[in-house]
Amino acid sequence: MRKITAGLFISLDGVVAEPQDWHFPYFNEEMGAAVSAQLATADTLLIGRATYDSFAGAWPEREHAGGGDEAMAKALGDARKIVVSHQDLDFTWRNSEQLKGDLVEAVKALKEEPGAADIGMSGSPSIVRQLTAAGLIDELHLFVHPIALNSGLRLFGEGEPIPLKLLSATPFETGVLHLVYGPSEPPAPAGYDEARAHLAQDGQ
């Protein structure tokens, strides 16, 4: 089964909206390498319409212009791009198509397709939220920025709890924390009596 990795820039209070307005002061070589590595293992991108429009409006031009990000732009252009939208879409960026049918069922089928490369996601928070709740995202890469925005769309809102397990945690010099989570079973029921056993005892 193919693996899905998703990457999101996120504030300390969980905001993922409009990262171009607040995350660039924290972007350094460490983050650039981590973002590139998350997408480098993928030959397929699964993204929402807004993210697709943003990418399609920038990366083809960067590929044609050359420069330091030409290789990344070409890799994104060569990748199969599957766009999630309720509207019929017209595509101008090569290798682009629209996901058909129910999101969860279509992604389950996509993961079952043959191939060793990963399926990468970037941005697209509403899709990430739904697929995380369905247990379909294998690696959720959260780049937690040391800033509280106090407004804006948050990755997780109302709904049922989603248990996750921490796969890795890497601090960057900027104060950004790169956290990678995977699916997990719910924790065993516990209350204060269970927690009290782990408290420091007097005289110890």
- pLDDT, one tens digit per residue, over 66-104 is 888 888 899 999 999 999 999 999 999 999 999 999 999
> Is 11 in contact with 145 (CB distance < 8 Å)?
yes
Quote the CA–CA distance of 109 and 138 in Å, as a whole number: 15
Q: What does the H/E/C string look like for 88-127?
A: CCCCCCCCEEECCCCHHHHHHHHHHCCCCCEEEEECCHHH
Q: How confident is the model at residue 18 (pLDDT cuts 50, 70, 90)?
A: very high
**Does 138 fall in a domain?**
yes
- pLDDT, one tens digit per residue, over 107-133 is 999 999 998 899 999 999 999 999 999
134, with CB counted inside 10 A (0-12, 13-18, 19+), is middle
**Does 202 fall in a domain?**
no
Residue 158 confidence (pLDDT): 82
Arithmetic mean of pLDDT, 29-46: 93
Q: Is a pLDDT exceeding 70 seen at residue 202?
A: no
Query: Whole-prediction pTM value?
Result: 0.91
- Average pLDDT over all residues of the chain: 93
Quote the CA–CA distance of 44 and 80 in Å, as a whole number: 5
**Does 57 fall in a domain?**
yes
**Does 201 fall in a domain?**
no
**Does 204 fall in a domain?**
no
Quote the CA–CA distance of 9 and 35 in Å, as a whole number: 10
Helix intervals (H) in 13-102: 29-40, 49-56, 59-65, 70-78
**Does 126 fall in a domain?**
yes
Q: Is a pLDDT exceeding 90 seen at residue 203?
A: no
Quote the CA–CA distance of 15 and 117 in Å, as a whole number: 30
**Does 55 fall in a domain?**
yes
Whichever domain contains 120, its CATH number is 3.40.430.10
Position 48, amino acid: G
Residue 59 phi/psi, 5-degree rounding, is -70, -40
- pLDDT, one tens digit per residue, over 47-67 is 999 999 999 999 999 998 888
Q: How confident is the model at residue 204 (pLDDT cuts 50, 70, 90)?
A: low
* 190: three-class secondary structure by DSSP: coil
Structural domain of 30: 4-196
Arithmetic mean of pLDDT, 27-37: 94
DSSP annotation of 26: G
**Does 42 fall in a domain?**
yes
> Is 77 in contact with 113 (CB distance < 8 Å)?
no
Position 196, amino acid: R
How many structural domains does the chain have? 1
54: which 2 tokens? 């943003």
